[in-house]
Structure 1
Amino acid sequence: MNPALPPRRIWLCADDYGLSPGINRGIRDLIERRRLNATSVMVVGPAIRRDEVEALKTAVATGPCAIGLHTTLTAPFHPLTMYFRPLHGGVFLPLGAMLRTSLLRRLDPEIVRGEIAAQLSAFAELFGRPPDYVDGHQHVQLFPQVRDAFLAAVKKAAPNAWVRQCGRTLPLSQKLQNPKALLLDVLSARFRVRCQQAGLAYNPGFAGAYDFTQSVDFGKVMPAFFEGLPDNGLVMCHPGFVDDVLIGLDPLTDQREREYAFIAGDDFPRLLAANVITLREPAP
């Protein structure tokens, strides 16, 4: 333990519950081990059957964990609303096309708001309550046009939920070293302003973005996530086990097992202790 560091309570949030049975199993195991305190649920995912929902509820009863909605508006997933546009081959646009379309202001905000409202409603039906927080798959909640529709839908359906912003609390020189995270910093600046105007709470800091396309030693990159992270900050992660469903839907596969192995292992609690960090308890 470093006595020079102030104690911090953080959120360690596993994204993509509902994407595949292997991801679900890995996330539930880490919740039961008390290695996670938040997970984001994809209600449009193929592995969000009632049994998977009940299994998550059981895990959360063992290890306290916030459950959020992972708003999904990008391929290869299908919208819940019949009228959602634009689509590509019957599914949402790929990430790059969705970002370009939003930057060019070619989305219909009411159509986007309606889809997000439908996903919030589906979450409430599955879990019997609104989500504790709301974020976005591939950070889509930050996109122009999407962000206002997102915040309006959350404000109406889950006004007590907090929402995820993805801006880092680091010096500019450090921010410039990671182009992907820098884009999230830029998009999050306007998102935070909109949150304040809407009266919605948000996490004060964010970390967890790195190059998922490389075979990265997660234990070596995770210490950097804690640099400059404030109390109540959020670290995003993607643990799970690879299965055929995941392989057919998402390019992030083996790296998920490396994340799971580190978070489940003995080095992870030592890393938290060295940084005077604990996982905060979700509100009852």
Structure 2
Amino acid sequence: MASGFVLCADDFALTDGVSRSILALIEAGKLSAAGAMTNRRHWQTFAADFGALAERADLGLHLNLTCAAPLGSMPRLAPGGEFPALRDLARAAATSSVARREIAAEIARQLDAFEDKLGRAPDYLDGHQHVHVLPGVRRAVLEAVMRRYPAGRVYLRDPADSAVAIRTRGVAVGKALTIAALALGFRRAALRRGIPVNRGFSGVAPFDPGRDFTADLQRFLLKPGPAHLVMCHPGFIDDELARLDPVVATRPVEHAALAAFVPSELAMVRFAQLR
């Protein structure tokens, strides 16, 4: 039986508005984890503010391989200096050893950027668009965590849950099942290497601004796993956001719902409190 859940915001440093939203929610005690995109220029601006909240939330690397520019040269994957779309990344990672070497190098650069600014390891690692579980990417993620950090120090997000739990929640069911299928075997591979993972995952959303996100938050807590994690995507809209990401209109909706959110049963906690 779950004793609590981690409420995790993705995409810190994507834009100014997204970053300010996440900082405000952590400061208000409305999030217990947040992941940063260290390849984005806003990481340089907001990293100190982010790091100052280490006592309030888990601070992680939100590995980014599909949005904007990499931190180093990737002639196979990003010949024009911009990351490929998710479908192209998945294809290249699965078929090209050159692409896999470039991915491993970029993972190291993004981890370095996190550590350089915060002076410590991330609490966890996950992926923008769940890229960290893609075949051809997951092995590089697992090896990087094993090589760089003591066993158990950094946890990984498993974006899968049971079909029964996903259908019970009734939110973006097809999308959540697809992500769960994509992540098949990821948890087992991580645990075999001594890397902790969450057990239970929700927060997959249709990104429809007309939905009642407060109600969806309560649905995300139905049938929780014993170490449950709920992802979310709050933000304030700014001029840059629409150019970078398809998720725009729902971000302020999520911010407002999270700012007022009081879980009805489970307590919001950090991951270490669930282990």
TM-score, scaled to structure 2: 0.90
Contact 1:32 1:60 in 2 (8 A): no
Equivalent in the alignment of 2:217? 222
Q: Relative to structure 1, is the Cα distance of residues 192 and 60 closer, same or farther in structure 2, using a 3 angstrom cutoff?
A: closer
Secondary structure of the corresponding residue to residue 38 of structure 2: coil
Cα offset for 1:236? 0.3
Q: How many pairs does the alignment contain?
A: 268
Q: Distance in 1 between matches of 2:177 and 2:191?
A: 22
Cα offset for 1:107? 4.8
Q: Distance in 2 between matches of 1:94 and 1:204?
A: 29
Q: 1:152 aligns with which of 121, 129, 143?
A: 143
Contact 1:120 1:157 in 2 (8 A): no
Q: 2:178 aligns with which of 179, 183, 186?
A: 183
Secondary structure of the corresponding residue to residue 219 of structure 1: helix
Q: Relative to structure 1, is the Cα distance of residues 111 and 196 closer, same or farther in structure 2, using a 3 angstrom cutoff?
A: same
Q: Distance in 2 between matches of 1:38 and 1:172?
A: 22
Indicate the percent of aligned positions where both proteins have the same amino acid.
34
Structure 1: unaligned runs, 5 residues or longer: 1-5
Alpha carbon RMSD of aligned pairs, Å? 2.2
What aligned pairs does 1:35-54 form with structure 2 within 5 A after superposition?
35-49=30-44, 51-54=45-48
2:268 pairs with 1:279: yes
Equivalent in the alignment of 1:114? 105
Q: Distance in 2 between matches of 1:59 and 1:205?
A: 25
What aligned pairs does 1:1-284 form with structure 2 within 5 A after superposition?
8-49=3-44, 51-61=45-55, 64-75=56-67, 77-83=68-74, 85-87=76-78, 89-103=80-94, 105-108=95-98, 109-159=100-150, 160-171=153-164, 174=167, 178-212=173-207, 215-265=210-260, 268-269=261-262, 272=263, 274=264, 276-281=265-270, 283=272
Q: Relative to structure 1, is the Cα distance of residues 191 and 170 closer, same or farther in structure 2, using a 3 angstrom cutoff?
A: same
Equivalent in the alignment of 1:3? none
Contact 1:42 1:71 in 2 (8 A): yes
Structure 2: unaligned runs, 5 residues or longer: none
Secondary structure of the corresponding residue to residue 134 of structure 1: strand
Contact 2:7 2:232 in 1 (8 A): yes
AA aligned to 1:86 is: L
Q: Distance in 1 between matches of 2:97 and 2:248?
A: 31
Q: Distance in 2 between matches of 1:54 and 1:101?
A: 35
AA aligned to 2:6 is: W
Cα-to-partner distance string for 1:117-171 (whole Å, 9 max, x where unaligned): 1111111001000100000011000100100011111211234100011111341
AA aligned to 1:241 is: F
Cα-to-partner distance string for 1:18-45 (whole Å, 9 max, x where unaligned): 0111111111111111110100000011
Cα-to-partner distance string for 1:102-127 (whole Å, 9 max, x where unaligned): 34x23532221111011111110010
AA aligned to 2:225 is: P
Contact 2:209 2:253 in 1 (8 A): no
